[in-house]
Amino acid sequence: MAASIVCWKCGAEISKLLLPIGRYTQCSSCKADLHICIACQNYNPKMISKCDHPSGEVTQDLKLANYCEYFSPQANAYNSAQSTVNDDARGRLEALFNRNSKDK
């Protein structure tokens, strides 16, 4: 059985979306853009362009929707460990800034 396609940001199942995923398609759970480099089968962080496709272009922000014609969603784009690290870091920053705003 093939792995289901999930949101790269929250892990919600998105396999019920019509394919191909459009440029402005967002996750119904977290509203993250879905037509992005890091959610593509061609994404390769080891490449300069971050893309394995021979015609892939360099994209400035890999987490924002783009117009790439070679986009193909990958099933394992969601990384729960990385999301946890990001959430922890965000929480520490918010605590730091909330603490500083209370001191004023």
**pTM, entire model:** 0.69
Sign of CA dihedral 52, 58, 59, 65: negative
- Tens place of pLDDT per residue across the chain (104 aa): 356 788 999 988 886 766 778 888 898 889 999 999 989 999 998 988 889 998 887 888 888 898 889 988 888 788 755 545 555 666 777 788 886 555 55
pLDDT of amino acid 76: 79
The whole-number pLDDT of residue 99 equals 65
Rounded CA Rg of the chain? 16
The pLDDT score that the predictor gives to residue 101 is 53
Residue 5 has a pLDDT of: 82
Tokens representing residue 42 in the block: 């061609």
Phi (first) and psi of residue 46, to 5 degrees = -85, -15
| Residue 26 φ/ψ, nearest 5 degrees | -125, 155
Q: What is the DSSP letter of 102?
A: H
